[in-house]
């Protein structure tokens, strides 16, 4: 397999008419045509962006609205990549770098149950076979979603943190040169394992492996990459996975940002699975190509490092308002990254709508017992604790550059984190949670990056 340089010209400037429709119709930005035209012009010419680079939530919608298929989203990513080279990543991003000490996965080990730890240890030390299921960095945080389900009898689960979801979440932030190195590492690992088929649990990873790595990074994988939800649907229809329970729930579906990358390919399979499980789907006002971000993607457009968390939660709050307006009793996501963020938001804002990963819906339909909502609530507060720790530490740190993509096993060694444990114990006190929620809601409007358009 050949490796070629990263493609810096995926944005089709030659056919771009500067019409501004991409940013005008964007469900997140909603710029006037006048401002949208000026913004696309500024991005093309490398001038200062006053709106897009400050408020884009990486939702991919601009690509779908461009009348000439110019790929304006890729232009945004290139400009963010330029900014990363100049200023580095915000200090709090250390939180999601598995190769840097005190990252999210390392710190979460302090709070994980022995059962969860055994599951993750098994997945991380699995001997790869011809066909593997890539669990991914974010379902690693929520191992109880899969648990010991019979669903895994159909797959060989492998969980490697230094694949960074094959670069998926760094790609969203515009860290393109780093993603290039991650793509090359993934290829080396797959070749070393002699794997023939890869089934990513995340649609984002499927897109990275089948489109971004070969087309943008010049890294071609010598194996078949199969979409997880399409395969799951196929197995359900062929009765290889048998549904025993009709769930009879009214649900609404959260379409994650990467679901827009495949020209609609990723939207239908989860919905068909939900219908087969007995769920009635009520769509949100913004769905499929117009779907709003869970909040995670808004961290890419940082300007003030301390505001990142508040920007993320403000976007997530809007998502919940729209979900609850449907009167559905559950919000379903088919993205592990969205799941942990949605649960943290649900706990902070006190939303009542249930939140499930589609895997949990499948398991319940199979007749399996899932423990809900206790594990999600517990994990949400684990993550809120860790985020608060990193937010405070970011005040003492400077922006940084990601210079190491491979995991040092020492990073996974258990550490005491006494201060973190104490903070987590405090969050178990009901009155502390109530006061924290109230304080967060009061501070939130004051800390969000101003939208002057």
Structural domain ending residue among the three candidates 64, 87, 110:
87
- Structure tokens given for 326: 């449907």
Is 1 within the bounds of a domain?
no
Do residues 415 and 431 share a domain?
yes
Do residues 147 and 264 share a domain?
yes
Do residues 18 and 43 lie in contact, with contact meaning Cβ atoms separated by under 8 Å?
A: no
Q: CA-to-CA distance for 282 and 43, rounded, in angstroms?
A: 38
* pLDDT for the residue 72: 96
Task: State CA 180 to chain mean position distance.
Answer: 19
DSSP letters along 83-126, please?
A: HHHHH-B-GGGGGG-TTSTT-HHHHHTTT--HHHHHHHHHHHT-
On the 0-12 / 13-18 / 19+ scale of CB atoms within 10 A, 44 is: middle
Is 7 within the bounds of a domain?
no
Mean pLDDT of 387-396: 90
* pLDDT for the residue 4: 53
Residue 138 DSSP symbol: T
Do residues 335 and 356 lie in contact, with contact meaning Cβ atoms separated by under 8 Å?
A: no
Do residues 31 and 61 lie in contact, with contact meaning Cβ atoms separated by under 8 Å?
A: no
Token look-up 């409007």 returns 445
DSSP letters along 218-279, please?
A: -B--SSEE--HHHHHHHHHHTTSS--------EEEEE--GGGGTTTTHHHHHHHHHHHHTTP
Is 3 within the bounds of a domain?
no
Structural domain ending residue among the three candidates 49, 64, 87:
87
Is pLDDT above 90 for 223? yes
Is pLDDT above 60 for 70? yes
Q: CA-to-CA distance for 363 and 146, rounded, in angstroms?
A: 8
Structural domain ending residue among the three candidates 29, 55, 87:
87
Rounded (10°) CA dihedral 275, 277, 278, 279: -60
Is 2 within the bounds of a domain?
no
Is 453 within the bounds of a domain?
no
Do residues 264 and 392 share a domain?
yes
Do residues 128 and 232 share a domain?
yes
Q: CA-to-CA distance for 270 and 262, rounded, in angstroms?
A: 14
- How would you list the strands of the sheet with 131-134, edge to edge? 157-158, 131-134, 197-200, 224-225
Is 452 within the bounds of a domain?
no
* pLDDT for the residue 411: 78
* pLDDT for the residue 2: 44
Do residues 260 and 163 share a domain?
yes
Q: How many domains does the chain have?
A: 2
- Structure tokens given for 120: 């993750």
pLDDT tens for 25-42 read 999 999 999 999 999 999
Point out the least confidently predicted range of 1-10, 408-417, 423-432: 1-10
Write down the pTM of the prediction. 0.95
Do residues 99 and 328 lie in contact, with contact meaning Cβ atoms separated by under 8 Å?
A: no
pLDDT tens for 86-100 read 999 999 999 999 999
Do residues 225 and 161 share a domain?
yes
Residue 120's contacts (CB-CB under 8 Å, 6 or more residues apart) are: 112, 140, 143, 159
Is 5 within the bounds of a domain?
no
The residue ranking higher by pLDDT, 5 or 18, is 18
Do residues 76 and 210 share a domain?
no
Do residues 140 and 80 share a domain?
no
Do residues 193 and 334 share a domain?
yes
Is 9 within the bounds of a domain?
no
Mean pLDDT of 52-70: 95
- Structure tokens given for 233: 């649907």
Q: Which domain holds residue 25?
A: 15-87
Q: What share of the chain is helix, strand, coil (3-state, %, to 5)?
A: 55, 5, 35
Is pLDDT above 50 for 132? yes
Q: CA-to-CA distance for 32 and 24, rounded, in angstroms?
A: 6
Average pLDDT, the chain: 94
* pLDDT for the residue 204: 96
Do residues 36 and 172 share a domain?
no
Of 427, 406, 414, 334, which is closest to residue 117 (Cα–Cα)? 414
Instruction: Work out the pLDDT band at 154, boundaries 50, 70, 90.
Output: confident
Do residues 71 and 195 share a domain?
no
Do residues 161 and 178 share a domain?
yes
Other C-beta atoms closer than 10 Å to the C-beta of 426 total 12
Instruction: Work out the pLDDT band at 419, boundaries 50, 70, 90.
Output: very high
Instruction: Work out the pLDDT band at 262, boundaries 50, 70, 90.
Output: confident
**Please, what is the Cα angle at 357 between 356 and 362, to 5 degrees?**
100
pLDDT tens for 422-443 read 999 999 999 999 999 999 999 9
Instruction: Work out the pLDDT band at 178, boundaries 50, 70, 90.
Output: very high
């Amino acid at each position: 397999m050949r490796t070629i340089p990263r493609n810096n010209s995926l944005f089709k400037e030659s056919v771009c008419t500067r019409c501004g429709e991409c940013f005008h119709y964007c469900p997140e930005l909603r710029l006037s045509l006048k401002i949208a035209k000026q913004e696309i012009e500024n991005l093309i010419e490398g001038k200062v962006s006053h709106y897009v680079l400050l408020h884009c939530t990486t939702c991919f919608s601009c690509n779908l609205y461009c009348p000439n298929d110019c790929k304006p989203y890729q232009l945004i990513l290139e400009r963010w990549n330029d900014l990363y080279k100049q200023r580095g990543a915000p200090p709090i991003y250390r939180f999601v770098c598995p190769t840097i000490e005190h990252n999210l996965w390392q710190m979460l080990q302090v709070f994980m149950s022995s059962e969860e730890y055994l599951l993750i240890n098994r997945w991380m030390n699995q001997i790869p076979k011809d066909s593997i299921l890539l669990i991914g960095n974010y379902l690693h945080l929520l191992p109880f979603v899969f648990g010991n389900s019979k669903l895994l009898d159909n797959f060989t689960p492998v969980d490697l943190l230094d694949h960074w979801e094959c670069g998926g979440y760094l790609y969203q932030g515009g860290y393109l040169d780093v993603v290039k190195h991650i793509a090359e590492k993934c290829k080396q690992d797959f070749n070393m394992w002699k794997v023939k088929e890869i089934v990513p649990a995340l649609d984002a990873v499927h897109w990275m492996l089948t489109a971004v790595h070969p087309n943008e990074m010049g890294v071609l994988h010598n194996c078949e990459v199969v979409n997880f939800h399409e395969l799951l649907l196929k197995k359900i229809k062929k009765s290889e996975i048998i549904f025993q329970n009709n769930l009879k729930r009214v649900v609404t579906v959260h379409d994650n940002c990467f679901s827009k990358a495949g020209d609609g390919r990723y939207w239908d399979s989860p919905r068909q699975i939900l219908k087969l499980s007995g769920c009635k789907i009520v769509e949100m006002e913004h769905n499929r190509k117009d779907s709003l971000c869970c909040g995670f993607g808004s961290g890419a457009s940082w300007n003030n490092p301390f505001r990142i968390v508040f920007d993320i939660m403000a976007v997530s709050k809007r998502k919940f308002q729209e979900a609850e307006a449907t009167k559905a009793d559950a919000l379903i996501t088919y993205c592990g990254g969205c799941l942990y963020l949605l649960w943290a938001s649900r706990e902070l804002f006190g939303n009542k709508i249930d939140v499930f990963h589609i895997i949990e819906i499948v398991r319940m339909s199979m007749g399996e017992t899932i423990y809900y909502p206790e594990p999600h609530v517990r994990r949400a507060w684990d993550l809120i604790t860790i985020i608060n720790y990193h937010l405070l530490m970011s005040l003492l740190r400077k922006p940084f550059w990601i210079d190491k993509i491979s995991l040092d096993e020492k990073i996974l060694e258990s550490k005491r984190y006494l201060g973190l444990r104490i903070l987590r114990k405090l969050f178990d006190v009901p009155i502390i949670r109530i006061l924290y929620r109230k304080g967060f809601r009061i501070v939130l409007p004051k800390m969000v990056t101003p939208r002057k358009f």
